[in-house]
Amino acid sequence: MGNGVVYTYGMVAFSNNGPCYKGQAMRSSSGFTLMELMVVVVIVGIMSSYGIASFTKKLENDRVRKAIENLKVIYNMEKRYKLENGEYFPKKTGGSCVQGTIALINAGLGLYMRDPNFSYIVTGTCAGATTTAYNAFAVRTSGQCKDKTIKLTEAGGEPVVTGCTLWQ
């Protein structure tokens, strides 16, 4: 049996690669089997699911960073407001402290903040006729971390991020 030579004996053909029965093609294996393609599809699916989860977390962390920056802007504007008015925003009205929503915050502190991912609230602590302290909150409005908050007080420092494992 030489190189590349095929011998036949009845229904069986013999070559350097072993026996090959009639009706069976003697060809090289170029191409992919169904099993190989299925394995590749499964691997690509696993890798893409990991990538999508990682991308989602990155997007959420970017949204949180923006909310923290907005809270820091509110903090700086509250300091300015107190210097100009002698108390923090929101002012005490009608015998009680009011809660400032984004529209009141923008108007009262001279800001123009819009954020589709968080709603902002400023609450005041009243003593006598003035607002002596405040808390600013960013509350997530949608997504996996809906209704979770980020809090910043008049003491400043870093905002306290609570409630969502994606934010850690």
> Is 78 inside any structural domain?
yes
Per-residue pLDDT tens over the stretch 43-88: 999 998 888 888 888 988 899 999 999 999 989 988 898 898 888 8
Percent of the chain whose pLDDT exceeds 70? 78
What is the total count of domains within the chain? 1
pLDDT confidence of residue 1: 45
**Residue 56 phi, psi dihedral angles, 5° rounding:** -60, -45
Output the DSSP codes for the chain: --TT--EEETTEEEETTEEEETTS------S--HHHHHHHHHHHHHHHHHHHHHHHHHHHHHHHHHHHHHHHHHHHHHHHHHHHHSSPSSPEETTEE-EE-HHHHHHHHT-----SSEEEEEEEEEETTEEEEEEEEEEE-SSTTTT-EEEEETT-SSPEE-S-GGG-
Tell me the per-residue pLDDT of 108-128, one tens digit each, with 9 for 90 and over: 888 888 889 998 988 887 777
**Is 123 part of a structural domain of the chain?**
yes
Report if residue 113 sits inside a domain.
Answer: yes
Residue 39 lies in a domain: no
Evaluate whether residue 7 is within a structural domain.
no
Which backbone phi and psi does 19 adopt, to 5 degrees? -75, 150
Query: Taking the model in full, what pTM does it have?
Result: 0.68
Residue span of the structural domain in which 125 resides: 68-167
